[in-house]
Structure 1
Amino acid sequence: MSGDAWRGYQSPGFFDEMIDELGRPRPATAALVGRIGALGADELAERRAAADLAIKSMGITFTVYSDAGMIDRAWPFDILPRVIPASEWQPVARGLAQRVAALNAFIADIYAEQRIIADGVFPAEVLAQSVNFRPECVGMRPPGDIWAHICGSDLVRDGEGRFYVLEDNLRVPSGVSYMVENRLVSKRVFPELFEAHVIGPVDDYPSELLDALAALSPRPDITPNVAVLTPGVYNSAFFEHVWLAGQMGAELVQGTDLFVDDDDCVYARTIYGPQRIDVIYRRVDDLFLDPDVFRADSMLGTPGLMRAWRAGNVALANAPGAGVADDKVVYAFVPEFIRYYLGEEPTLDNVPTWLCMKDDEREHVLANLDSLVVKPANESGGYGMLIGPRSSGEEREHFAELIRANPRNYIAQPTLALSTAPTLVDTGFAPRHVDLRPFIVSRPEAPAYVTMGGLTRVALREGSLVVNSSQGGGSKDTWIIDDTQPNGSA
């Protein structure tokens, strides 16, 4: 390696995505490491400033609910990409498609015959205490029995570099806009690197999503009207809602922009009069979708929306009720789903998981809180967790009380040695922990589409394992490099 930025770089005890344990670039990253190292500290600082300016000029923002006034923040971005060789990515992509197929089969079964419970593979008590199971959806059959049309599964790599699925997000998974925008920023910052490497594209996502949504239309003989349903400007992912609607040429609507007429069809209010909507990509949680069916006080949904969906006059993606599989307790059973529904062995492993609802596993968790990560079943964004090795005795005692009071609501996992990736800091490059959120789009009678890589999130604070942007994390562009060419070069 050359250049002062790489001087002394090491990540002892962790698998580093770019540099091996002997301090050498990994084969797919050798050319990239050399080119970046040759830039020099001043040039790297200028490139980082250029990235910051591009993000501001492109208006790439996110909102943190805890901020006073909920002020938008510029998207935190590290200019050094995370690189994965294509030969490593291909089996991961196949494993993700397998996993989502099994999850959709599970959701379809749970709202129909519940064969998996009758056959003793999945415990009835887990479903009975599910906060995301919607009795109102029992008996529904979305097109192709696909309930989770868009899934974002979080992946991590352990100390050996092996990929594991950390969790699946099937309600309203977010982050795909940042994946694509990160690529645009990278191309502005490092145009010469894109000329020298064969990098898998990510800008086809909006067209793939639009095709999948259009395939759900109840009026297949005409070009469907597609809408993105947003909770509004104060939602933390509002930037993404606007971005998706713009990229797909879809209408961006709020619940009050829609109404359901006596014909049980959904219409948008426009200056030209009512316009029928065929497909809604909803970014509103189930409980706020329809005040006639769920929360009567919801101001975010549309009265009658569920009635129109049940009548087959509008398609909703993801389907209401899909969140029954977006549960960290259900997650522990996904390998069994794959065996049960697909008759296959899982090609991507779960992180080892203890279920606190089981007496023996709960006792193990309570006895080892100082070394485990404890998570509530249905929180997201890194909230509500206990990271045992970094917790106080008081915090561990508090979590022990929570677990004893509601064991169904908690799981525990080992504290993984999350992989690291070089990240630009003031003194050069330093290792920071990363995860990866690929996106999987499912549609009837077609293979699943898996993004080429995904959104790499990075814990910008030294030693931190929390990658969420709402808690100080940032992101990187993710490069799937064709390693069939020497050094991944074109």
Structure 2
Amino acid sequence: MLETYSIEDFYDEMMADVRKPRPHYEKFHRILLEMNQEELHEKHETAQLSFLRQGITFTVYHEEGGTERTMPFDFVPVIIDDEQWSGIEAGIKQRVRALNLFLEDVYNEGRILHEGIVPRGVVENNQYFYRKQAGGFEVPNDNRIFLAGIDLIRGDEGVYRVLEDNLRNPSGLSYVYQNRFVMRKVFPEFFFEHDIRTLEHQMSHLHEALLSHVPENSPSKNAPQAVLLTPGMYNSAYYDHVFLAQQMGIELVEGRDLLVKDKAVYMKTVRGLQRVDIIYRRIDDDFIDPEEFNPDSELGVPGLMEAYRNGNVAILNGVGNGVADDKEIYAYVPEMIRFYLGEEPMIPNVDTYFLRDEDVRRDVLGRLEELVVKNVGASGGYDMLIGPQASPEQIELFKQKIEETPEQYIAQPTIQLSRAPAFQKKRFYPCHVDLRVFAVGGDDFHVLPGGLTRVALKEGSLVVNSSQGGGGKDTWVLKKGAVPNA
């Protein structure tokens, strides 16, 4: 079944060439070749049904409303050896530490702005910068990043690069666990001969990190009450919210379940009001408190921000984090690492062009067909142009958008994203992948082994987002010594 598999000019995660797997894939490749097409197809269908039966879904929004879908799953994992993972882990910790220091800085002293490392206008004109609401006070652990999702890609040279930082409400952690659960259930033979870092105790790291953010004025520092605040069941990531609340053993609440009284937050229960110390919120800043943000919001809690600023409740991730994961700010992260940590970045960025600069804009507009253009405030693959795959009409549309609001867009070279085999419709074919690595912040930063490998299941597509037709794969990190000598 792999005889017609082609690696062409792309870096392939599994195959070194058309007939030889990479050393850390040799055992998997051998077991795979022992299976026949019908057996694999049957297992593939069983895996999809497992996701459906467990209600593992997300919502795709469009003009007519929302469509609920199961996450498409592919059973060929992305396998990372111990040496590669050590570099990724160290690089992610370095990056998230610097980003957290940046957030603490811009919401307090602003040293990086005074010294001109990051242009003041880039921060102060950012739509996610809430200096008035989120600045000028201490947060628990001096930490504004409880959970970060850092997206990594590999180009044709096989080097990892950071594509995007997600510091507001990164989703997908539940899929990491469910991908592993389904793989062990449907493909147990793959696990017998592989020594893989387990996910089993990772939720305890998440829970401990959550409870470490006890606010200054909490009356229950030894037994703080934490909740997960969700917009509700119609949110696209609601399954993620339910899963994480269950696994951490905390209450899942909506805004109407909470109230603020005497600048403290309480949860309504059948036994009366119960003080809440920590809120892991999955509601965007704009909806979290109608008294200070969107006055029409019915999802948030009136008065919540005042309780937050007075040290009576912790809000995770921090309010205003969007100023650090904006696609324009992204280009300055290597300088943040040098400025705050005195170190060179371990994982490089993708080259980025700022379209507010007239000369750069003119150059980019002349070669849109070979670049990727992104809206600095958008996510999920929306309002994005992939030049090599775009029609003349799409290119013309983005020319107009850039001319009208150049500060709203950035451009990047089209990276030849690495590929991995996918098994769909009874055959293997190569699909582009990226990797979302999750870092948890508490007293220190901890990186979960592996992460969410997202795969562009539509042949030839470069867009891995689930909202745009992408799916997921399990991600294995092999323990030290688990790879044969190359």
2:49 counterpart (45, 50, 53): 53
Contact 2:38–2:426 under 8 Å retained in 1:
no
Q: d(CA) in 1 for partners of 2:426 and 2:261?
A: 62
Structure 1 counterpart of 2:232: 232
* Closer, same or farther: CA 459–48 of 1 in aligned 2, 3 Å: same
Deviation at 1:54, TM superposition (A): 1.4
1:8-31 Cα shifts (integer Å, max 9, x gaps): 212201000000135310000001
Structure 1 counterpart of 2:136: 139
The answer to whether residue 172 in structure 2 is matched with residue 175 in structure 1 is yes
The answer to whether residue 30 in structure 2 is matched with residue 31 in structure 1 is no
Say which SS state the counterpart of residue 97 (structure 2) adopts.
helix
Q: d(CA) in 2 for partners of 1:280 and 1:485?
A: 40
Say which SS state the counterpart of residue 332 (structure 1) adopts.
helix
Deviation at 1:428, TM superposition (A): 2.1
Contact 1:158–1:417 under 8 Å retained in 2:
yes
Deviation at 1:405, TM superposition (A): 1.9
Structure 2 counterpart of 1:65: 61
Deviation at 1:352, TM superposition (A): 0.8
The one-letter code sitting in structure 1 at the alignment partner of 2:44 is: R
Structure 1 counterpart of 2:314: 315
The answer to whether residue 15 in structure 2 is matched with residue 12 in structure 1 is no
Q: d(CA) in 2 for partners of 1:36 and 1:76?
A: 20
Structure 2 counterpart of 1:221: 221
Q: TM-score, normalised by structure 1?
A: 0.96
Deviation at 1:69, TM superposition (A): 5.1
Structure 1 counterpart of 2:382: 383
RMSD of aligned residue pairs (Cα, Å): 1.4
Deviation at 1:68, TM superposition (A): 4.7
The one-letter code sitting in structure 1 at the alignment partner of 2:29 is: V
Q: d(CA) in 1 for partners of 2:138 and 2:406?
A: 33
Structure 2 counterpart of 1:346: 345
Deviation at 1:124, TM superposition (A): 1.2
Contact 2:7–2:18 under 8 Å retained in 1:
no
Contact 2:41–2:426 under 8 Å retained in 1:
no
Written as runs of structure 1 = structure 2, the 5 A alignment for 1:411-430 is 411-430=410-429
* Closer, same or farther: CA 58–413 of 1 in aligned 2, 3 Å: same
Structure 2 counterpart of 1:120: 116
Deviation at 1:306, TM superposition (A): 0.5
The one-letter code sitting in structure 1 at the alignment partner of 2:145 is: A
The one-letter code sitting in structure 2 at the alignment partner of 1:297 is: D
Structure 2 counterpart of 1:281: 280
Task: Flag structure 1 segments of 5+ consecutive residues without an equivalent.
Answer: none
Say which SS state the counterpart of residue 227 (structure 2) adopts.
strand
Q: Aligned pairs, how many? A: 481
Structure 2 counterpart of 1:475: 472
Structure 2 counterpart of 1:111: 107
Q: d(CA) in 2 for partners of 1:126 and 1:280?
A: 29
Structure 2 counterpart of 1:298: 297
User: Relative to structure 2, which stretch is displaced further, 296-305 or 59-68?
Assistant: 59-68
Contact 2:214–2:221 under 8 Å retained in 1:
no
Q: d(CA) in 2 for partners of 1:374 and 1:70?
A: 26
1:171-196 Cα shifts (integer Å, max 9, x gaps): 11100000111000000011122121
Q: d(CA) in 1 for partners of 2:414 and 2:200?
A: 34
The one-letter code sitting in structure 1 at the alignment partner of 2:459 is: E
1:159 counterpart (135, 138, 156): 156
Q: d(CA) in 2 for partners of 1:203 and 1:336?
A: 36
Contact 2:140–2:214 under 8 Å retained in 1:
no
2:126 counterpart (118, 124, 130): 130
Say which SS state the counterpart of residue 66 (structure 2) adopts.
coil
1:395-451 Cα shifts (integer Å, max 9, x gaps): 22221222122222111111110000110022421110000101011113x3x1111
The one-letter code sitting in structure 2 at the alignment partner of 1:320 is: V
The one-letter code sitting in structure 2 at the alignment partner of 1:406 is: T
Q: d(CA) in 2 for partners of 1:204 and 1:80?
A: 24
* Closer, same or farther: CA 413–295 of 1 in aligned 2, 3 Å: same
The answer to whether residue 457 in structure 2 is matched with residue 460 in structure 1 is yes
Contact 1:31–1:487 under 8 Å retained in 2:
no
Structure 2 counterpart of 1:251: 251
Contact 1:12–1:21 under 8 Å retained in 2:
no
The one-letter code sitting in structure 2 at the alignment partner of 1:239 is: Y
* Closer, same or farther: CA 80–413 of 1 in aligned 2, 3 Å: same
* Closer, same or farther: CA 483–14 of 1 in aligned 2, 3 Å: farther
Contact 1:9–1:23 under 8 Å retained in 2:
no
Q: d(CA) in 2 for partners of 1:67 and 1:474?
A: 22
Structure 1 counterpart of 2:431: 432
Q: d(CA) in 2 for partners of 1:205 and 1:282?
A: 20
The one-letter code sitting in structure 2 at the alignment partner of 1:127 is: V
2:185 counterpart (177, 188, 191): 188
Q: d(CA) in 2 for partners of 1:112 and 1:357?
A: 27
The answer to whether residue 209 in structure 2 is matched with residue 212 in structure 1 is yes
Say which SS state the counterpart of residue 256 (structure 2) adopts.
helix
State percent identity of aligned pairs: 48
Q: d(CA) in 2 for partners of 1:85 and 1:39?
A: 24
Contact 1:287–1:295 under 8 Å retained in 2:
yes
The one-letter code sitting in structure 2 at the alignment partner of 1:256 is: R
The one-letter code sitting in structure 1 at the alignment partner of 2:254 is: Q
The one-letter code sitting in structure 1 at the alignment partner of 2:79 is: V
The one-letter code sitting in structure 1 at the alignment partner of 2:462 is: L
Q: d(CA) in 2 for partners of 1:26 and 1:51?
A: 26
The one-letter code sitting in structure 2 at the alignment partner of 1:274 is: L
Contact 1:28–1:483 under 8 Å retained in 2:
no
Q: d(CA) in 2 for partners of 1:487 and 1:271?
A: 59
1:258-314 Cα shifts (integer Å, max 9, x gaps): 00012x111010111111111100000001110111111110000010011111111
User: Relative to structure 2, which stretch is displaced further, 63-72 or 402-411?
Assistant: 63-72
* Closer, same or farther: CA 67–476 of 1 in aligned 2, 3 Å: farther
Contact 1:457–1:474 under 8 Å retained in 2:
yes
User: Relative to structure 2, which stretch is displaced further, 203-212 or 93-102?
Assistant: 203-212
Say which SS state the counterpart of residue 171 (structure 1) adopts.
coil
Structure 1 counterpart of 2:73: 77
Say which SS state the counterpart of residue 129 (structure 2) adopts.
coil
Structure 2 counterpart of 1:399: 398
The one-letter code sitting in structure 1 at the alignment partner of 2:226 is: V
The one-letter code sitting in structure 2 at the alignment partner of 1:117 is: L
Deviation at 1:70, TM superposition (A): 2.4
Contact 2:10–2:155 under 8 Å retained in 1:
yes
The one-letter code sitting in structure 2 at the alignment partner of 1:478 is: T
Contact 1:459–1:465 under 8 Å retained in 2:
yes
